[in-house]
Structure 1
């Protein structure tokens, strides 16, 4: 069995509003192997959630996938009939825990009813079987079986987040996409959720894509890191290498702006403000390394130090690096 589980190739997504095309993702490419944790980071509006929704085929009009392939175990799931995709892929192979997922629980349904609905919609009709699987799932996320008889309003934010993660495990998927799973939670609960995700990855071998705006979260949990800005990949590679030696100016800015108990707060360097330009590198209005070529042309993805970096500083053809 090949180690490669998911490969995204040149994926582009646009929203068509009042005859205008607003590009949300542009030529995004990456891959993830079985059992890995990939952290996707970037500021709000960078395209992180759009990327997740593209993978699970939930881009709704006026949004549209305009280009690219998403290969799951070698099959382009964008070419799969949508009914077959929902029946064979969604929840069974790929689960998605959305941003602000606590709000996605139906307040008038008990927790177990959410498990029943999900399983029944995928052909599992025996309620005893479903209950047993739900009990195993909540146990995996360190919740008591009694939670299944509760209503969402009876649970804390952290407990509801764990319930959604348990629900994503119900049909034993190979890949779980978690969209900002620690947002709106206190620091202690955030750490417990991240430790839980690593436990699922280690004990079940589940592949994880974790979406976050916090590069510290990605550093804590992920083996690989994908940095998005304005819908484009700025840097992609091994997390430890990126954190120790960030190559793209945007990645450098994200790391330098993160507070730490080991850093002098007065030496934090926030990223400069700037609008996304109509042409050239999308980051050039905020970049301290900007040159004229950055204002006129859009850089490609170049290989540097085993990583992919979208910056002219690493374009060997221009002899900007040795």
Structure 2
């Protein structure tokens, strides 16, 4: 196991009250695994990623009792300066949302590699250049042409691949990718997802892949966590979750995705609405909601080695 997130809670303290963005989230990540975390906008996915990266800033706060163990070390107990020097980018790197915009249009691509390396104490320019060339080849780019180019001379897909190559520069053990392909067309998405899978296979790097698109999660990952209103609703092996979703929210996400052969009139979008404050957060959008769902929040239940937060499985309490 490379990562264990334990009872993680993150809140934003606003003038009008506290917003609980992530609530008591617990999960493990195995070495070499690709884990997808999916859910609608506002489900807490990106806040979860920022918490692992210790990037939560005021008015946000990681609540007391939260634990994040990376290779057995509780990184939340580390001094922030030590975390940035010893862990961030060297051992855990990050591909952010709209990461194409992270590139500086006044710098050549190769200079981004030099700048990243120097900021983390690596000053051998020739070694960085050799590594950059290898990484650009790994993401299927011409290192000589792309390395000399400015970001504005590259397509969106090419810039995305440059960012992925940059995330691998210091040979990290874990990469967190937050909506890494959401701004790209479908064909380019598929191409880059294949590259990510190939990188995972060749290097053994662990990946947390955050997305709102369950079809992308189905393609890229071996395991899926479904989040809603800051909580884990369902967790399990990808194939099992896609074929037999246990939580009504997961089923709704799957049924909302059109396929080439599907009848558009038969697509069933999830009922509109907001997360409920009382009871199960999904109860006012759920077709299977019971009276207890409006009164109490369900715990996590263990069903055939899968986890689900739903009263439909009350006899299988973990």
- Scaled to the shorter chain, the TM-score interval is over 0.9
Map of 1:193 onto structure 2: 192
C-alpha separation in 1, matches of 2:274 and 2:160? 35
Residue 265 (structure 1) shift:
2.1
2:286 corresponds to 1:283: no
Map of 1:313 onto structure 2: 312
- 8 Å CA contact 2:301–2:316 kept in 1: the answer is no
The residue matched to 1:78 in structure 2 has which SS? Answer: helix
Measured on the aligned residues, the alpha-carbon RMSD in Å equals 1.1
The residue matched to 1:226 in structure 2 has which SS? Answer: strand
C-alpha separation in 2, matches of 1:187 and 1:296? 42
C-alpha separation in 1, matches of 2:225 and 2:316? 24
**Unpaired stretches in structure 2, ≥5 consecutive residues:** none
2:89 corresponds to 1:122: no
C-alpha separation in 2, matches of 1:317 and 1:202? 36
The residue matched to 2:198 in structure 1 has which SS? Answer: helix
| Aligned partner of 2:111 among 113, 116, 120 | 113
Q: TM-score when scaled to structure 2?
A: 0.97
Residue 99 (structure 1) shift:
0.3
Map of 1:254 onto structure 2: 253
Map of 1:299 onto structure 2: 298
Residue 147 (structure 1) shift:
0.9
Map of 2:168 onto structure 1: 169
Map of 2:182 onto structure 1: 183
C-alpha separation in 1, matches of 2:294 and 2:34? 35
| Aligned partner of 1:10 among 7, 10, 15 | 7
Residue 112 (structure 1) shift:
1.3
2:20 corresponds to 1:23: yes
| Aligned partner of 2:138 among 134, 137, 140 | 140
Residue 263 (structure 1) shift:
2.4
2:271 corresponds to 1:272: yes
C-alpha separation in 2, matches of 1:277 and 1:46? 13
C-alpha separation in 1, matches of 2:39 and 2:275? 14
Residue 233 (structure 1) shift:
0.2
The residue matched to 2:232 in structure 1 has which SS? Answer: strand
Stretch deviating more after TM superposition (104-113 or 234-243): 104-113
2:155 corresponds to 1:156: yes
**Unpaired stretches in structure 1, ≥5 consecutive residues:** none
Q: TM-score when scaled to structure 1?
A: 0.96
- 8 Å CA contact 2:302–2:316 kept in 1: the answer is no
1:41-68, CA deviations, whole angstroms, 9 ceiling, x for partnerless residues?
A: 0001111111111111111111110141
C-alpha separation in 2, matches of 1:254 and 1:119? 40
Residue 139 (structure 1) shift:
1.0
Residue 311 (structure 1) shift:
0.5
Count of matched residue positions in the alignment of Structure 1 and Structure 2:
315
2:75 corresponds to 1:77: yes
Residue 183 (structure 1) shift:
1.1
C-alpha separation in 2, matches of 1:137 and 1:153? 20
1:12-43, CA deviations, whole angstroms, 9 ceiling, x for partnerless residues?
A: 00111116111100011111101111011000
2:61 corresponds to 1:58: no
C-alpha separation in 2, matches of 1:216 and 1:276? 23
